[in-house]
Amino acid sequence: MKSITIKGSERESVGKKATKALRNAGKVPCVIYGGDKPLHFSADELAFKDLVYTSKAHTVVVDFEGGEKIKAVLQDIQFHPVTDRILHIDFYQLFPDKEVTMEIPVRLQGNSPGVRNGGRLLFRRRKLTIKALPDNLPDFFDVDISKLKIGDHVSVDTLKKGDFSVLHPDASVVVQVKMARAAVVVDDEEEEEGLEGEAAEGAEAAAEGAEAPAESNE
């Protein structure tokens, strides 16, 4: 999984007054959990742009002024209810031998024949929560929908291929194609038979036209 580096500064004071001063200066108060004790730090609000405002999943390397670097994942984020500015971020420190829980985005691949026939594509789970060692975290779950007809679906149990645990029931639907009012259900065999029938009718009409006598202008 790709990683984003963020320049962090350890916080000496974590009171309300100090926190407000940080936010007024365009910085975000943060905490890293999972180590010996919580580590409080701050970073420029703009530094989180590629981490927060994206559909992709990333790990984070917090680079402190003294040279210490800590690898972590985002665990929780708080936004201002009116301005949507970032108020606070919680991270969880990563260790090579310790599993971590993380949300991984789902990408759809291909075009559904059910949708082409008028069905509705319902993307039920755009992210899946998994548990894995840091080195086994996938970037995406790719789901092929190129064979989904009306009434078909893809469930979680078909995606369990990797050194991780998916924290959803096996029967949970990730994506499905449902019947719409104007939908036309077309089976592959019926479609092929229809094409063959049309070809045969066309050949018959051509043969009849060739056998018909030409009209005289006299």
H-helix or E-strand spanning residue 27: strand 27-33
Every domain of the chain with CATH number 2.170.120.20 lies at 101-178
CATH label, 101-178, candidates 3.30.310.80, 3.40.47.10, 2.170.120.20, 1.10.730.10: 2.170.120.20
Buried b (16+ CB within 10 A) or exposed e, 189-208: eeeeeeeeeeeeeeeeeeee
For the segment(s) 3-94, the CATH number from 3.40.50.1780, 3.40.50.1370, 2.40.240.10, 3.30.499.10 is 2.40.240.10
Q: What is the pTM of this model?
A: 0.75
SS (H, E, C) 56-72: CCCEEEEEECCCCEEEE
Residues of the chain with CATH 2.40.240.10: 3-94
Per-residue pLDDT of the chain (218 residues; tens, 9 = 90+): 899 999 999 998 888 889 999 999 999 999 999 999 999 999 999 999 999 999 899 999 999 988 899 999 999 999 999 999 999 999 999 999 999 999 999 999 999 999 999 999 999 999 999 999 999 999 999 999 999 999 999 999 998 778 999 999 999 999 999 987 655 555 554 444 444 454 445 545 444 544 544 444 44
